[in-house]
Chain A
Amino acid sequence: MTTRVMDWLDERLGLTTIYNTVLDRKVPKVNWWYTLGSATLFLFVLQAVTGIFLTVYYVPSPDHAYESIQYIMTGVTFGWLIRGIHHWGATLMVISVFLHMLRTFYMAAYKYPREFTWITGVILLLATLGMGFTGYLLPWNQRAYWATTVGTEIPGTAPLVGSFIERILRGGVELSAVTLARFFSLHIWFLPAIILLVLGTHLYQVIRIGISAVPGDED
């Protein structure tokens, strides 16, 4: 039965071709450092799933943000687990994208024909840091508030356009409900949309070109 359904779908969707291209592609003999991209992809999916679950109870408003998180942590069954995974997953993801970048750099994997993969990777690294920065404000506790005060003040020190950038980030002169709302929107819509688009390109290139081998003595 299952095989008949699968065959029917395969004939129409070309599942075998997708499977062969994506999973059965040729890979040079490499080491464990080459798994960091997959690890990051896994963490991204983990963050996406736990993040979607957190929006069930989280409220992006200064009156309720903190209370809604208190409720997630103490009132909701397994709320502590979902938020805990999202919290630690965020830290791990920053570490893993960074190590992934270092591996690509030291193994010279950014060279021809993979320069564009490297460029999309840089965008993804920046987007990941953006996710960390915008997500940090959402609990609306003392640490979040002051970290964002400092974090938005830094671009404010840039010459000429600095204070304008700071006001764009804050949605006004000071930190307010507008700041929280736009950080939330960036965190759950804009940045994930950018990440999905660029990640698609990044993975397409990995599949199309294949991964690079460990450089030998003659390289």
Chain B
Amino acid sequence: MASSHSIGRRDFVKIVLTFLGTVMGGILGLPAISYLVSPATKIKQSESWISLGPMENYEIGKPALFSFTKTTINGWEKTVNSYGAYVLRQSPDEVKVFSNMCTHLSCRVTWQEETQKYTCPCHDGHFAKEGQVLAGPPPESLHEYETKLEDGTLFLHHVEG
């Protein structure tokens, strides 16, 4: 039973070593990579309704900043993140709540009473009172929070992850 194409000893050793090398590289490499990327794969989703106080407190037609913090556990530490929302009451029972995070690269915008614009100090982005982009690099309008009104108290829906 002579084979028509026999593999030489050197080639056999090469093939076996390449195979074993790949297997061992995988056994060592995969845990190493999973170890490094691990925190990125374990993001917990969280959502909550945050009370902004009575609707009555907000002046009609003038954006007001509401700040709140959320605590999450990252690795070995509690991380406290601050968030800001601009509450724009349009009529006695109509309201829009915008995130103050610039849609360009996440700096925080501030409402300028004189110019009637939200401006971002980082790259000179400007947004209108209703959140639309007026000038600068931001690609889209300010993000709007989902809201609800319960017994005269305003809530915003905060979603993370």
Report which A residues bind B (CB closer than 8 A): 53, 56-57, 59, 64, 67-68, 70-71, 75-79, 81-82
B76–A64 CB distance below 8 A? yes
Residues from chain B with a CB closer than 8 A to the CB of A77 are 31, 34-35, 38, 41
- Min Cβ gap A76→B in Å is 5
Residues from chain A with a CB closer than 8 A to the CB of B159 are none
B76–A59 CB distance below 8 A? yes
- Min Cβ gap B51→A in Å is 32
A53-B35, A77-B31, A81-B31 known; 9 new pairs, CB 8 Å cut-off, are A68-B75, A71-B76, A75-B75, A77-B41, A78-B32, A78-B38, A79-B35, A82-B31, A82-B32
**Measured CA separation A70–B77 after assembly (Å):** 12
Residues from chain A with a CB closer than 8 A to the CB of B76 are 57, 59, 64, 67-68, 70-71
**Measured CA separation A156–B157 after assembly (Å):** 61
For this complex, 16 residue pairs linking A to B, each with C-beta atoms less than 8 Å apart, are: A53-B32, A56-B35, A57-B75, A57-B76, A59-B76, A64-B77, A67-B76, A68-B75, A68-B76, A71-B76, A76-B38, A78-B32, A79-B38, A81-B35, A82-B32, A82-B35
Task: Enumerate the 8 nearest inter-chain pairs by beta-carbon distance, A residue then B residue, closest first.
Answer: A67-B76, A78-B31, A77-B38, A77-B34, A68-B76, A76-B38, A71-B76, A78-B35
Q: Is the interface of B mostly helix, strand, loop or mixed?
A: helix
Residues from chain B with a CB closer than 8 A to the CB of A68 are 75-76
- Min Cβ gap B41→A in Å is 7
Residues from chain B with a CB closer than 8 A to the CB of A81 are 31, 35
Q: What are the interface flags for B67-94 relative to A under an 8 Å C-beta threshold, 1 for contact and 0 otherwise? A: 0000000011100000000000000000
Q: Which residue of B lies closest to A53 (CB)?
A: B35
Residues from chain B with a CB closer than 8 A to the CB of A76 are 35, 38-39
Q: Which residue of A lies closest to B28 (CB)?
A: A49
**Measured CA separation A78–B36 after assembly (Å):** 9
Report which B residues bind A (CB closer than 8 A): 31-32, 34-36, 38-39, 41-42, 75-77
**Measured CA separation A71–B42 after assembly (Å):** 13
**Measured CA separation A81–B76 after assembly (Å):** 19
Interface centre among A59, A78, A79 (most CB of B within 10 A): A78
Q: Which residue of A lies closest to B30 (CB)?
A: A78
- Min Cβ gap B72→A in Å is 14
Residues from chain A with a CB closer than 8 A to the CB of B38 are 75-79
- Min Cβ gap B30→A in Å is 8
- Min Cβ gap A183→B in Å is 19
Residues from chain B with a CB closer than 8 A to the CB of A57 are 75-76
- Min Cβ gap B98→A in Å is 35
**Measured CA separation A71–B36 after assembly (Å):** 13
**Measured CA separation A68–B38 after assembly (Å):** 14
- Min Cβ gap B153→A in Å is 38
Residues from chain B with a CB closer than 8 A to the CB of A64 are 76-77
**Measured CA separation A176–B36 after assembly (Å):** 30
- Min Cβ gap A197→B in Å is 27
Residues from chain B with a CB closer than 8 A to the CB of A67 are 76-77
**Measured CA separation A78–B34 after assembly (Å):** 7
**Measured CA separation A59–B38 after assembly (Å):** 17
- Min Cβ gap B150→A in Å is 37
Q: Which residue of A lies closest to B36 (CB)?
A: A56
